[in-house]
Amino acid sequence: MLSLLWLIPALPAAGSVLLVLFGRRLGRGGTAWVGTGSVSLSAVLALLVCGSFLAAPPAGDAYRQVLWTWFDVGGFAPAIGLHLDAVSIVWVLVITVVGFLIHLYSVEHMERDDGFTRFFIYMDLFVFSMLVLVLADNLLLLYLGWEGVGLCSYLLIAFWQEDAQNVYSGRKAFIVTRVGDTALIAGLFLLFTHYHTLEIGQLMHLVASRSPAPDSGVVLAAGLLLLGGAVGKSAQAPLQTWLPDAMAGPSPVSALIHAATMVTAGVYLIARTNVLYTLAPDARLAVAIVGTVTLLLAGFSALVQRDLKRALAYSTISQIGYMFLALGVSGWEAAVFHFMTHAFFKALLFLAAGVVIVALADEHDIFRMGGLRRELPAVFATFTVGAAALAALPLVTDGFYSKDLIIATSLGSVDGGAWFYVASLIGAFVTGLYSFRLVWLVFFGARRTEVSRRPRWRQLVPLYALAALSVTGGFVWMPAWLGGFEPLRKLLDTALPPAPMEGAAAHFAESVGAALITILVVAAGVGLSYVLWMPRRERTQAFAAAPSVQPLVALWLGGWGFDWFYERVFVRPVKRFAHWARHDLVDHVVGGIAWLNLAGWRGLSAGQNGRLRGYLAVTGLGVVLVLAVVVLR
């Protein structure tokens, strides 16, 4: 069964190719079957292959499948090879299963769109690219998947290209992530130059065997460069500005980008190359700092957003900040666990938000919603489950188990500390605030907009499935004080080092007392959100609009001014330089050559006028000149 591993990414690729070739002939029904069916078959095959792996683990707890050698130049012979282990199993299952549910939802959501076939071409290609990324056994193939994901995100964010703002948002995502990608490719060049291989297993072995000297500087530089790539792709500070604008795309695209594909690619990259960061403490500390700063900045921005999808976008940035924090304190397994749980509830929230927006005739403003719990009861129930999981409501949501593990690791790990712990608790409090703020404003209070369209079964089935996963997904890793049922931890132990939990702080972090602190912080956030946006909604809005508070609200609403800063420091100077460069010396030289060619053409054209007398006169003049030269010699 493991030999069929290559079919998992091949099926979505085949679906995309078939739609390119025959999409017009298939019609909408055939397109839906091919687009969704290819990903569903990939999901079924992923379950079978991963089940076979778990039932009879191969030697070394990893399976490598080499398909062919790409090229052989100067001893560098990268293979098209796939690698399956505990880490890639988690990603593959999430990508295919959640991807299938999003595809099923999309059939209904996009049924009236003129670009129906084009949409599924891009979506299948997106899933294929992400599967290549997480299954690649070498960093070069991983980079190809990485760039494929970036291209597909551009195509899907700018999907409704008739609107110039959508095209701008897609272009912004493409350019900002290219900044990080430049750092990533520089890191790959550095690693290859020093170790002469990009095969991940061999590379990590060489790094470990030759450390600490003389490679410590190389390892640190490579770790920081790879972190730059991860920061761009996973929308972490300071390159997080593209993700809120990426909400210009259809809601299923937002769900796929945020839950199962693009923004978690950076988390996967750092987890996969964990040896680099284990041997470079400064690079690992940088990962933790980036995650901590991002989870706080994005959390406060989510707290004041009016656009439903932008609020969810900032929540994604914040939750990935938690994953980076976990990676930075050597909680590799906790980061992978939170990736899995986050994929379930974030896909649920975006799909439910898509239903709400379509039902209200494309209304995005949460202050123009309200009272929808009676009009859309199924959406209300499932959205509330997703919000509860995002807020990490204790015991009954998957988000609680993964986030509590990260918070505990931030304190108990030898690489953690009190500052990281306090920041993670503040983030948990703010998450409770903004998560249920959406529930109160969208589904409670007076109805402000009429419902014009209701969801059908192809939209509701994915919501129910994701809601079930958002409740039960955390049960695969229960804390010791709840019985210690930990099959996911035992699986990840075969591929990742456990967090180094030592000392009194670790003992407290793993206790019931630490969990109670987390529970109380989350409960306080949810409770305060109820007070602020239920009985005191008008007072809260009036307070936010007060002149003394408005500057802070505007700062958070605008994402802490990053776009403002980049516009003035980078974008405008580049535009001015480009305008000046249009009239530089090189431009004049090129223009002069063109002018000379044009002048010569005009001169020749003037002589070719079809008049015989002119031709005879020129010929006669030529004869006279030749004779004169001969006589004078």
- 430-472, pLDDT tens digit by residue? 999 999 999 999 999 888 888 888 899 999 999 999 999 999 9
Domain-terminating residue out of 549, 583, 613: 549
Answer yes or no: is 541 within a domain: yes
- 327-386, pLDDT tens digit by residue? 999 999 999 999 999 999 999 999 999 999 999 989 999 999 988 999 999 999 999 999
What is the pLDDT of the chain when averaged over all its residues?
A: 91
Q: 450 and 585 share a domain?
A: no
Lowest-pLDDT choice from 81-85, 420-424, 504-508, 582-586: 582-586
Q: 504 and 583 share a domain?
A: no
Answer yes or no: is 463 within a domain: yes
Give the span between the Cα atoms of 356 and 362, in whole angstroms. 8
* Cβ–Cβ < 8 Å for 307, 364: yes
Q: 497 and 613 share a domain?
A: no
Tell me the residue range of the domain where 396 lies: 360-549
* Cβ–Cβ < 8 Å for 446, 542: no
Give the span between the Cα atoms of 120 and 102, in whole angstroms. 11
79 strand-pairing partners: 69
Q: 540 and 579 share a domain?
A: no
pLDDT confidence band for 224 (50 / 70 / 90): very high
- 513-558, pLDDT tens digit by residue? 999 999 999 999 999 999 999 887 888 888 888 888 899 999 999 9
Q: 498 and 404 share a domain?
A: yes
Percent of the chain with pLDDT over 90: 73
Answer yes or no: is 51 within a domain: no
What is the pLDDT, as a whole number, of residue 585?
66
- Per-position b or e across 562-586, b if 16+ CB within 10 A of its CB: bbeebeeeeeeeeeeeeeeeeeeee
Give the span between the Cα atoms of 118 and 316, in whole angstroms. 27
What is the pLDDT, as a whole number, of residue 123?
96
Q: 539 and 574 share a domain?
A: no
Answer yes or no: is 593 within a domain: yes
Q: 397 and 467 share a domain?
A: yes
What is the pLDDT, as a whole number, of residue 117?
95
- Averaged pLDDT, 8-26: 95
* Predicted structure pTM score: 0.91
Q: 374 and 490 share a domain?
A: yes
- 479-502, pLDDT tens digit by residue? 988 888 999 999 999 999 999 888
Domain-terminating residue out of 549, 583, 599: 549
Answer yes or no: is 445 within a domain: yes
Number of domains in the chain: 2
Q: 503 and 597 share a domain?
A: no
What is the pLDDT, as a whole number, of residue 460?
96
Lowest-pLDDT choice from 21-30, 477-486, 605-614: 605-614
Give the span between the Cα atoms of 409 and 499, in whole angstroms. 7
Residue type, 412: G
**CB-side neighbour CA atoms (13 Å) of 184:** 23
Answer yes or no: is 614 within a domain: yes
- 285-299, pLDDT tens digit by residue? 999 999 999 999 999
Answer yes or no: is 510 within a domain: yes
What is the pLDDT, as a whole number, of residue 149?
95
User: Which of the pair, 596 or 302, is modelled with greater confidence?
Assistant: 302
3-class DSSP state of 73: strand
Task: Quote the tokens at residue 566.
Answer: 């980049």
Q: 423 and 466 share a domain?
A: yes
370 to each of 305, 375, 388, 440, how far by Cα in Å? 16, 10, 19, 8
Q: 424 and 498 share a domain?
A: yes
Answer yes or no: is 146 within a domain: no
Q: 496 and 397 share a domain?
A: yes
Percent of the chain with pLDDT over 70: 97
404, pLDDT greater than 60:
yes
